[in-house]
Amino acid sequence: MMAAVEGPTTYLSNNPLEAYTSNAVDYNHYAGSTELMKLPLTNGHSEKAQTLEDGYVNKDKTDSVTTDQPEEPKTLHDESPNTRGMEQALQIRASQIVAASTDAGDPPTIRHPTTTAKQVISAKQFLVGSHDAVSHLRSPVPKIMNLAPTVLPGATKLKRRLEETNELIVCPGVHDGFSARIAMSVGFDALYMTGAGTTASRLGMADLGVAQLHDMREHAEMIANLDPQGPPLIADMDTGYGGPIMVAKAVQQYIRANVAGFHIEDQIQNKRCGHLAGKQVVDLATFLSRMRAAKAAKDELQSDIVLIARTDANQQHGYDECITRLRAARDIGADVGLLEGFKSKAEARHAVLDLAPWPLLLNSVENGSSPLITVDEAREMGFRIMIFSFATLAPMYEALRGNLEALKNEGKVRTRKELTPKKLFEVCGLQDSVKLDVLAGGTTFKEGI
């Protein structure tokens, strides 16, 4: 339910979302904001405002306010229309906003739901009901429920799913922002940023260890933050890009980039794709050094990021050495194990049993060096995460090559009529951008798209 008040009220904010919205705005839309907002005076007192920022009065900019002392400060209860559901309270339809702004013709206003005092306060302090922040106002500020949706970090989402469920988390491999958007539009609730795909799409090169930390971190950060409430992203971290110091730095950067989980492997620095021949791995001590550095960096930042220990030793040293390495990594504190390059389905099944109840991740690479295992088979075997590293890269190659060959040989492409530019942009969040512009009072899309 939206509350409006007659009379103009301005904002002391440079944030476009808060600078112009409408004459009818749900106050709880601003939950969690630290910007200042002005509440209208409806009891006839001075139009000057008192400004508070994080609990302090800015006396240089404002004069004091005299307000009528209410008998009792009110509190919104669960039966209030503003608290009947987070989604209902927070939703503001663009059509209502446009109509309200057009009819009133005044600058936007926000009405304090339970008091008539005119105050300029920190929205964050207001919504959590902090009386300390406004103790020197003659009219107390009522306690308001914070109805803002909780946006959990991707790492926390992934960790909870591993700890609180027995589900198999299926992650399509994505290699850029567009493939990630498509995967989200299809409905996947977790994603995997493939190192091979990143190297191919970002650098135009084969997966031979040429992608460095800045390549992988920037790519992962972009994908992980396409949607703040979107699916968690697991990202390749290769070998950690150096010794223990570089491994720790890489983990810190992935955490700050909102990556939910990462795998770090035991190949030599001059590594290659796990499904190519000729792989070489470091000794056990070096591998565990990487694990300790990653765990230490994770613990220092108190992050829920999921640490996945990957071994590629099967090709060079055999299955038993892989199990030894993964057990040692588990004992150090790795959250999940990944044995790359299973030689048979039976070997994959045994690995789950040999390392139970520790969760394992299965990497499925079509036409790679391992047998193809379906999602249902992986679930029955007991794997907890399954990634499809080439799920978007290989089909993209086929589609692009087919269209480019048609253009070269026939002078035209074969794009279906329904795939208009607008349709493709809708996959990339076009409607979210339109909604944001309308909420901000913009007119960019007034004439349509």
Which amino acid is located at 154 in the chain?
A: G
Q: What are the catalytic residues?
A: 273
